[in-house]
Copies of this chain bind each other. A is one copy, B any other.
């Protein structure tokens, strides 16, 4: 009986369990394979921790957030931290062990479910001869060669609902309400949720903003009689001038103190430049939690089922992807060649501008 291994790595997001279920059920139902679940991301591969998944293990988990296999953010076989916590970390390449461990599972293919970081590792393992198939997962939607990663739609839903809530409370006070969303390098989430939530200002990494324009914008709204402005900020947003930067105060070597994220910095600038009260909400980990949306469950099922089929066919080094209406396969190498950022001429940017949203541009 053939075996298929699954690993889930990087930050978690809604839909991972739906993918695991689809991979495992397809592999068992259609190809009679056994399923090995690697525990806690690549850490499990390094530490030889995995377990066989039964049909029961993957039943009834389509609604479940998180990952039944666990994940780890930092365990990279090519740069694995050794030494004790607290000490200066040293890094070692343990990828040979990882490959050997994989072989000891008896699996013919590894399904790697993850975002950009995971797919980089998967690609390098693949180059070392480990047969790998990737599934693009991330709330950031920054994986190239696919229209959507799974998890993104669920994060948009959570962020949109949060902006809706902020909206109702904003209307009661004369205030600028800021909400900071995830998105260190790309702004898809802030763009989609910002448009969906009717944000008055949306700030994303791809479009550096002019602080003065932002301040003027919220003042103008106030002058036109609008009680409030909603400002949606991706955590990686930055000013054109480069002067509004997330910093840390280093009190002493062991206790750096973060001075607040970008939203808080912008809020202070707005309060300095205008007479408007400003309040900040940082959505944080809520964006990774909860049950996946219908859209994400469907996408996850399509991705997972196809990945199992590809494994059964002996394919490797590829990632499943959504292009238009179709599930296709692309070389992992292509998918990781660059981050998929928001093109400044995307029609949604244009539409947002047309309905009156500002991106902080003059």
Contact = CB atoms under 8 A, between A and B. Distances in A.
Interface string A34-65: 00000010000000000000000000101111
Nearest to A84: B275
A143 to B, nearest CB: 14
A297 interface: yes
B67 A286 contact: no
B195 A355 contact: no
A108 to B, nearest CB: 18
Interface in A301-318: 301-302, 304-306, 308-309
Contacts of A153: 294-295
A129 interface: no
A70 interface: yes
Copy number in the complex reads 4
Contact of A85 (B255, B259, B275): B275
Interface of A: 8, 12, 14, 16, 21-22, 25-26, 29-30, 40, 60, 62-67, 70-73, 85, 147, 153, 156-160, 162, 164-174, 177, 192-193, 195-198, 227, 249, 255, 257-260, 268, 275, 279-282, 284-286, 288-291, 293-295, 297-298, 301-302, 304-306, 308-309, 323-327, 347-348, 350-352, 354-356
Identify the 9 closest CB pairs spanning chains A and B, nearest first. A65-B168, A165-B289, A324-B324, A305-B351, A160-B294, A12-B172, A196-B294, A26-B354, A196-B297
Given A156-B294, A193-B294, A305-B351, 8 more contacts: A14-B168, A29-B354, A66-B169, A158-B165, A165-B289, A195-B298, A196-B295, A280-B284
